[in-house]
Chains A and B, each alone.
Chain A
Amino acid sequence: MISGALARRYARALIELAKSPVQRDKFGKDLAALSDLLQQQDKDGATVLSVLAADRFPLGQRQNLVATLARRVAADPTVVKFTGVVLENGRIDGLPDIARAYQRMADDAAGRVQAQITSAAPLGMDAVAKIKNALQQATGKQVVTTQSVDPDLIGGVAVKLGSFVLDGSVRATLAQLRKELRA
C-alpha cells in the first residue's frame, strides 16, 4: 500500500502515455484486471502481490512472473512495462491503489462517473435505467453503474457515486429516526 499522492503520480504517468481515449480506457481495464489477478488469494491466503513485494526472489524472476500474468489478461505492452517499472521501484504493493487512482483519473478525463447501486432486492432494467438517468442529470456526467444486493437495506436503494453515498434505504431511514429520537 502506498500513499494517495504517490498512487496518483504513477497513475498520471500512465495516463499520459495513452495516445487516445480508447487506449486510456484500455490501460485502465488492463491495470484493473492485472491488479485483481495479483490480489487473488490461494488456499493459504497468500497473494501473488505479496510474493512480488517480498523481495524473496530475484527481480528478473519477478518481472518475468508479472509479464506472464500480464499476457494472461492480454494487457497492453505499455501496461506491462509500467508494471515492471513499479516493481523495479519497489512499489508493487501499491498497484491496487494506482489502479483505483487511474480509474478515477480516466473517468474524470472521459466525463464519466462510477456508480455502485445497492438494493434490498434485485432491480429490474427499468429501475436501473431510471436511477442511472437521474444520476446523470444530477452529475452532468456519464454514469457507469454496477449493481449489488444487500437484504439488510430492508427496502429502497443506496448509491455510491464516486465518494458520495446517496442512501434511500429503509435501514438508513430507521437509523435517522433512531438518531432523531435519541437526540
Chain B
Amino acid sequence: MITTAHILNRGAALLAVAASYLLPAIAYAAPAHGEAHGAEGHTGAHGDGHDGGIVFFNDPFAGEEKTGIIWLLINFAALMFVLNKLLFQPLIRKTAAKHDDIKLSLEKATAARMEAESIISEYRGRMEKLDDEIAELKAGAKKRAESDRAKIIEAAQAEAQRIKDAAKAAAERDAESRRKALENEILDRALERAEATIRKAIGTTDQRRMIDDFVGSLGGVKLGSPGQATTTQSNGGAA
C-alpha cells in the first residue's frame, strides 16, 4: 500500500537526483571558460590547462585538481546513494521476491514430481500384480459360478420333484373323485332300478305286511314327550 510518507520519501529522492543533475547543468550554463579567457587571449600559461585530465565546467575550485576530484567523488557518492535508494533496493527486493517465488515453485514442482513418481511406482507395482489379481478373480468367479450352478440345479430338481408330487397328488385326488362319482352313479342307478322294481312288485299284501312290521317295531319303543324336535326312522320291514 502506498502511504503519504512513502510519497514524500520518493519526492525527496527525486529532488536529490534533480539537484545532482542541476548542479552540473548550472555549472555548464555558466560562461564558458574558453570564452572568458578568449578575450584575454587563448594563449599563455592557462592554455596549457586543456591539454589533459578532467575539465569541470563550473569548477569552483578551478585550478585545484584535488578538490575537483573530491567534488566529483561526492557527486558520485550522492548519485550512488540516490540510485541505491530508488533503483537498486527495489530491484534487489523484486529479484529476491522473484527468487523466492521461483524457489517455491521449484519446491512445489519437486514435490509434485516426487508424488507423480510415487504414483507411477505404485501403479507400476499394481500393474505387475494385475495378472495375479486377474487370475485370482477368474478362479473365484469360476468357483462361484460352479457353486451357483450346483445350487440352481439342486433347486430345479427340488422344484421338479415338488411339481411331480403335486401333480401325482392331484391326479390321485382326481382319480379318487372320479371313482367316487362313478360309484355313486352306479349306486344311484342300482337304487333307481331297485325302486322301480319294488314299485312294480309291491302289492296289497306287501303293504299290509309292512304295516304289521311297522306296528311290530313300535312294540318295543317307548316314546317320551313327542313335543321335542326329533326325527327317528323305523324300518318297518319295508326292504
Scoring A residues 144 to 181 as 1 if CB is less than 8 Å from chain B, else 0, what string do you get?
A: 00000000001111000111111111101110111001
Instruction: Determine whether the beta carbon of B226 is less than 8 Å from that of A162.
Output: yes
A49 to B: closest C-beta gap in Å? 25
Instruction: Determine whether the beta carbon of B198 is less than 8 Å from that of A156.
Output: no
Q: Considering the complex, which residues of chain B in the window 218-234 have a beta carbon less than 8 Å from any beta carbon of chain A?
A: 218-219, 221-223, 225-234
Residues of chain A within 8 A of B208, CB atoms compared: 127
A138 at the interface (CB under 8 A from B): yes
Q: Considering the complex, which residues of chain B in the window 147-194 have a beta carbon less than 8 Å from any beta carbon of chain A?
A: 183-184, 187-188, 191, 194
A: interface residue count bin: 35 or more
Q: Considering the complex, which residues of chain A in the window 113-135 have a beta carbon less than 8 Å from any beta carbon of chain B?
A: 113, 119-121, 123, 127, 130-131, 133-135
A137 at the interface (CB under 8 A from B): yes
Instruction: Determine whether the beta carbon of A166 is less than 8 Å from that of B202.
Output: no
A130-B212, A155-B202 known; A176 vs B234 contact (CB < 8 Å): no
Q: List 21 A-B contacts (CB under 8 A).
A: A119-B207, A121-B204, A130-B212, A131-B215, A155-B198, A156-B210, A156-B238, A157-B236, A162-B227, A163-B226, A164-B228, A165-B230, A166-B214, A168-B214, A168-B217, A170-B195, A172-B238, A173-B235, A173-B238, A178-B187, A182-B183
Interface residues of A (CB under 8 A from B): 104, 108, 113, 119-121, 123, 127, 130-131, 133-135, 137-139, 154-157, 161-170, 172-174, 176-178, 181-182
